[in-house]
């Protein structure tokens, strides 16, 4: 009895006497001392009780393999494993005389229902979204791909947090080099990381150029988007702490595709895809272009427009770059405020920020009407992208271009444009070319950037810069 | 440096090496020195160039650079790059960035070329794809001038004298500066790609028609006496086009030409990279930095009108030794050496 009590105390102290950790004596057939351990916050108590009842009956008839149920496994007691199981929400029955433990995999970890993600709305199609439970998330994919070659592998990352990271791909479709790349990077992460807080940290390890403004993994919370990418040979990385799934290898143009493209008509889907790609140019270059014109190249404008514009900006005390910066910073402040505030107040912020400040700032003579138009158009263009990360990257990118235009006019934009595109050519996502199918040039696939064709067999993504590699 | 090229990539690189910097201006030399029959002279020169390509294709395996020949070629390409950069800088200063000190604009250009040179080979190889749409826009807007062309400008045919023919053909070769890059790049083309015969003919026809059309177009547009006063005829044609939405169309085209020319410069630098990478066990990066330092400083001494005129007049003389004579010597030497080796074995 003394042994039992001291054991229970020891177990409790192992878990720092947490109030939700339970360790109590239970009666067990053919066993003098048995202890039941679990985190009350992580198990479904009625399921556990039912399972214990079943096991007790099987043990009492002295069945040889009495632990063989779907949820139970018997194994020799090891303190390290014991702690690990408990932390994963499992229930453990310790059989002290036999020095064995039976662990019941019946965790109940709270999660939301799979509602549509608020940051990836679509008009038609599935309205399901991922949740903070990886079993539910994998289930949502398996519901769509009922094939045995949909492989799911797991790695435990974070020496302290022990977060499960899963990667999923279609065998025979996914590029094996990319799968190995994911595995090796996750292994590296396993060795180096103490704690894993967000899916973004996994993204940092998987991306090859962390300081690039362009995301090299596509983040999504939509199962239909993951499904569409898996059949194209991509790899999906899940965590059990976040609804965000990372997809790779991706191209720059993957960020401009939306599940809505395939939910609508061919022509409609194609038109909006073109609009989105065009929005990249306006979102990045439009303010820079305007600054270059009003600072250096007034002569390119037709006389009528030139006169109006000169009149408009002649009353502004600041240089165009300062004007643009004032407005851009206001837009960024409004955006940041509307993200953090409750939904009910966001509309007020929109009205105050957009209408009141926009109107007053022009009346006060701080910025010109034309600049308001340009910055508003730029902001709208940047929000067209159906990916939050790419949207943010684009918004940041326009600042260096504005600066280059203010310093050297069109010359600055051309030089900056060259640097931007060379950077895009140099990038790769899980060793695959990022700017495909433009570079490496694949004329047959280029139309897919702009046009959503009638759905036929999906084609795997290009995986190499090397023409020999592409032929393989 | 390990890289492989498809047939399309190979020809695209050659296209951008041969066009680019010289495209806006070479017509003046050909027409000024060649007279009314300049377009025929260009056609004849391009036939010679096809024969040269044919010779290259047959013997490219024997074009192996030794220690000395490698540095001779690097020096030649450096001279071409410096000349091109000087001309680019001069044109930019005349047309668009009059107030910017040349040092800064050149620094920006050279930093971009350095970034490309330090990137992986596939970046340089594929960069041309991004320029293709710009070249198309360039051509479409030149075509706007069609209604102003006077087809009678080239008549009567056959009025040029023999010295005019020689000079006209000589300056026609400006359109093919850099053709020796064929020998540098050809070895990296995938083995199963067909180059001989039809592909090479189609490529050369595209380049010749592209450049030849600009010669004949300029002849149609300008009177023979006018052309002497116009150093960059293509830009002048663009400047004279009027559209409703933009007043100075030429400014956009100078920037398109700048991007196009930057690519040409980089392809010449790529030749240098290939040559440098043949040094076993040596990291070519420090040398690349030195080379970029040179191409940053040297053009600053040649951006005056006189120097640019000198370049336009005399750069073409380097074509003969480096695109014709030296390759022939290297190929014949290596052929002989190889056959001797075969016999001794």
- Whether B238 is in a domain gets the answer yes
The CA distance from A311 to the nearest CA of chain B, in Å, is 19
List, in sequence order, the alpha helices (H) in A196-319. 199-206, 223-230, 259-263, 266-295, 303-314
Min distance B247 CA to chain A CA atoms (Å): 5
- Kindly determine whether residue A421 and residue B130, on different chains, have CB atoms separated by under 8 Å: yes
Q: Does B195 touch chain A (CB under 8 A)?
A: no
CB-based contact (8 Å) between B330 and chain A?
Answer: no
CB contacts < 8 A (A, B): 93
**pLDDT tens over chain A, length 472 residues:** 667 888 899 999 999 999 999 999 998 887 778 999 999 988 888 989 999 988 888 888 766 677 778 888 889 999 999 998 998 889 999 998 888 899 998 888 878 888 888 878 888 888 899 998 888 999 999 999 888 899 999 998 888 888 889 999 999 899 899 999 999 999 999 888 888 888 888 999 999 899 999 999 999 999 999 998 999 899 999 998 889 999 989 999 989 888 788 777 888 888 888 999 899 999 999 999 999 999 988 888 888 888 888 888 888 888 999 999 988 888 888 888 887 877 777 778 777 777 788 788 888 888 888 898 999 899 899 888 888 889 889 989 999 999 999 999 999 999 999 999 999 999 989 989 999 888 887 777 788 788 877 776 666 677 777 776 665 5
Cα nearest neighbour of A407 on chain B: B100
Q: Which of B4, B96, B119 sits opposite A411 (nearest CB)?
A: B96
d(CA A238, CA A135): 10
Joined tokens for residue A231: 């059949």
**Nearest chain B Cα to A411, which residue?**
B255
> Which chain B residue has the Cα nearest residue A437?
B129
**Whole-angstrom distance, CA of residue A412 vs CA of residue A429:** 29
| Domain spans of chain A, in order of start | 2-104, 134-250, 261-439
pLDDT digits (tens, 9 = 90+) for B247-281: 888 888 899 999 999 999 999 999 999 999 876 66
Is residue A107 within 8 Å of A135, Cβ to Cβ?
no
A441: exposed, middle or buried (C-beta count within 10 Å: 0-12, 13-18, 19+)? buried
pLDDT of residue B194 exceeding 90: no
List the single residue in A with minimal CA-CA distance to B124. Answer: A422
Residue B2, domain member (yes or no): no
pLDDT of residue A299: 84
Beta-carbon contacts of residue B168 (< 8 Å; ≥ 6 apart): B30, B31, B33, B34, B35, B37, B38, B41, B42, B160
For an interface test with B, the pick among A309, A437, A441 (most B C-beta atoms closer than 10 Å) comes out as A441
Torsion sign across C-alpha atoms B201, B207, B211, B217? positive
- In this complex, is the C-beta atom of B120 within 8 Å of any C-beta atom belonging to chain A? yes
CATH number (domain holding residue B323): 1.20.1740.10
Which residues of chain A are within 8 Å of residue B112 when distances are taken between CB atoms? 415, 418-419, 422
Q: Kindly report the average pLDDT of chain B as a whole number.
A: 91
Q: Does the residue B282 lie in any domain? A: yes
Q: How far is A413 from chain B (nearest CA, A)?
A: 10
The contacts of residue B51 (CB under 8 Å, 6+ apart) are none
A91 CA: distance to closest CA in chain B (Å): 54
* Selection from A435, A457, A456 nearest residue A446 by Cα: A435
Contacts of B251 in chain A (CB under 8 A): 297, 299-300, 410
CA distance B229 to chain A (A): 24
Which of A408, A419, A425 is the closest to B100 by Cβ?
Answer: A408
Beta-carbon separation of B122 and A415 below 8 A: no
Predicted confidence (pLDDT) per residue in B93-148, tens digit? 998 888 899 999 999 999 999 999 999 898 999 999 999 988 888 888 888 888 88
CB contact under 8 Å between A410 and B247, yes or no, is: no
Please tell me the total count of domains within chain B: 1
A233 DSSP assignment: T
| Enclosing domain of residue B182 | 7-340
Closest approach of A118 to chain B, Cα-based (Å): 36
Which chain B residues are closer than 8 Å to A417 by Cβ? Answer: 259
Interchain proximity B247–A303, CB inside 8 Å? yes
Q: Judge whether B1 lies within some domain.
A: no
Q: Does B188 contact chain A (CB < 8 Å)? A: no
Q: How many residues does chain B have?
A: 345
Q: Given CB atoms, is B333 within the 8 Å cutoff of chain A? A: no
Give the bridge partners for A23, in sequence order: A37
Q: Do A441 and B9 touch (CB under 8 A)?
A: yes
Q: Which residue has the higher pLDDT, A30 or B214?
A: B214
Residue A458, pLDDT score: 62
CB contact under 8 A, B112 and A465: no
């Amino acid at each position: 009895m003394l042994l039992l009590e001291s054991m229970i105390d020891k177990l409790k102290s192992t878990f720092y006497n947490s109030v939700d950790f339970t360790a109590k004596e239970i009666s067990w057939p053919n066993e003098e001392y048995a202890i039941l351990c679990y985190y009350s916050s992580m198990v479904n108590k009625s399921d556990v009780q039912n399972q214990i009842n079943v096991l007790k009956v099987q043990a009492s008839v002295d069945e040889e393999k009495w632990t063989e149920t779907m949820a139970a496994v018997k194994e020799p007691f090891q303190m390290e494993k014991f702690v690990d199981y408990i932390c994963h929400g499992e229930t453990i029955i310790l059989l002290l005389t036999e020095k064995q433990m039976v662990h019941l995999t019946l965790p109940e970890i709270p999660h939301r229902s799979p509602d549509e993600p608020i940051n990836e709305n679509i008009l038609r199609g599935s309205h399901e979204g991922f949740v903070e439970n990886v079993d539910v998330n994998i289930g949502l994919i398996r519901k769509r791909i009922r094939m045995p070659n949909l492989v799911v592998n797991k790695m435990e990352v974070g020496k302290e947090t022990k977060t499960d990271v899963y990667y999923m791909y279609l065998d025979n479709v996914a590029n094996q080099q990319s799968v190995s790349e994911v595995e090796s990077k996750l292994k590296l992460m396993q060795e180096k990381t103490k704690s894993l807080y967000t899916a973004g940290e996994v993204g940092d390890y998987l991306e090859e150029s962390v300081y690039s403004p362009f995301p090299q993994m596509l983040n999504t919370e939509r199962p239909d988007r993951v499904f569409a990418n898996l059949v194209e040979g991509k790899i999906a990385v899940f965590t059990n702490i976040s609804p965000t799934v990372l997809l790779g290898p991706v191209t720059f143009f993957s960020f401009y595709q939306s599940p809505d493209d395939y939910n609508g008509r061919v022509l409609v889907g194609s038109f909006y895809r073109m609009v989105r790609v065009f929005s990249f140019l306006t979102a990045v270059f439009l303010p820079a272009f305007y600054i270059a014109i009003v600072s250096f190249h007034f002569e390119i404008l037709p006389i009528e427009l030139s006169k109006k514009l000169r009149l408009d900006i002649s009353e502004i005390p600041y240089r165009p770059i300062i004007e643009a910066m004032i407005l851009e910073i206001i837009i960024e402040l409004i955006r940041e405020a509307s993200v953090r505030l409750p939904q009910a107040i966001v509309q007020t912020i929109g009205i105050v920020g957009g209408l009141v400040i926009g109107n007053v700032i022009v009346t006060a003579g701080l910025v010109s009407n034309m600049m308001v138009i340009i910055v508003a158009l730029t902001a709208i263009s940047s929000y067209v992208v159906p990916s939050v990360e790419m949207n943010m990257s684009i918004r940041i990118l326009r600042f260096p271009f504005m600066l280059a235009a203010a310093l050297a006019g069109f010359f600055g934009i051309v030089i900056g444009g060259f640097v931007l595109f060379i950077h895009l050519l140099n990038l790769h996502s899980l060793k695959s070319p990022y700017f495909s199918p433009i570079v490496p040039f694949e004329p047959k696939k280029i139309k897919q950037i702009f046009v959503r064709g009638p759905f036929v067999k999906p084609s795997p993504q290009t995986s190499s810069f090397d023409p020999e590699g592409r032929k393989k | 440096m390990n890289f492989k090229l498809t047939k399309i990539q190979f020809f695209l690189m050659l296209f951008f090496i041969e066009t680019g910097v010289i495209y806006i201006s070479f017509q003046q030399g050909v027409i000024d020195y060649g007279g009314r029959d300049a377009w025929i002279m260009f056609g004849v020169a391009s036939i010679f160039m096809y024969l040269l390509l044919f010779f290259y294709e047959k013997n490219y395996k024997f074009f192996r650079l030794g220690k000395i020949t490698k540095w001779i070629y690097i020096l030649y390409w450096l001279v071409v790059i410096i000349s091109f950069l000087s001309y680019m800088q001069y044109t930019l200063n005349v047309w668009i960035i009059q107030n910017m000190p040349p040092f800064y604009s050149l620094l920006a250009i050279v930093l971009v070329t350095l970034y490309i040179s330090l990137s992986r080979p596939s970046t340089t190889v594929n960069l041309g794809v991004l320029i293709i749409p710009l070249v198309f826009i360039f051509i479409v807007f030149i075509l706007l001038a069609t209604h102003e062309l006077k087809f009678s400008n080239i008549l009567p045919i056959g009025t040029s004298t023999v010295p005019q023919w020689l000079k006209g053909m000589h300056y026609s070769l400006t359109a093919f500066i850099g053709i020796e890059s064929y020998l540098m790049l050809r070895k990296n083309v995938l083995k199963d790609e067909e180059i001989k015969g039809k592909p090479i003919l189609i490529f050369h026809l595209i380049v010749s028609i592209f450049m030849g059309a600009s010669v004949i177009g300029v002849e149609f547009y300008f009177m023979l006496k006018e052309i002497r006063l116009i150093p960059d005829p293509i830009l002048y044609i663009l400047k004279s086009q009027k559209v409703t939405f933009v007043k100075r169309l030429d400014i956009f085209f100078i920037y398109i030409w700048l991007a196009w020319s930057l690519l040409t410069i980089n392809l010449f630098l790529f030749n240098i990279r290939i040559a440098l990478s043949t040094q076993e066990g040596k990291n070519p990066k420090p040398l690349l930095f030195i080379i970029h330092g040179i191409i940053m400083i040297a053009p600053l001494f040649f951006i005056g009108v006189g120097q640019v005129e000198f370049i336009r007049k005399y750069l073409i003389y380097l074509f003969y030794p480096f695109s014709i004579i030296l390759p022939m010597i290297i190929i014949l030497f290596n052929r002989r050496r190889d056959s001797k080796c075969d016999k001794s074995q």
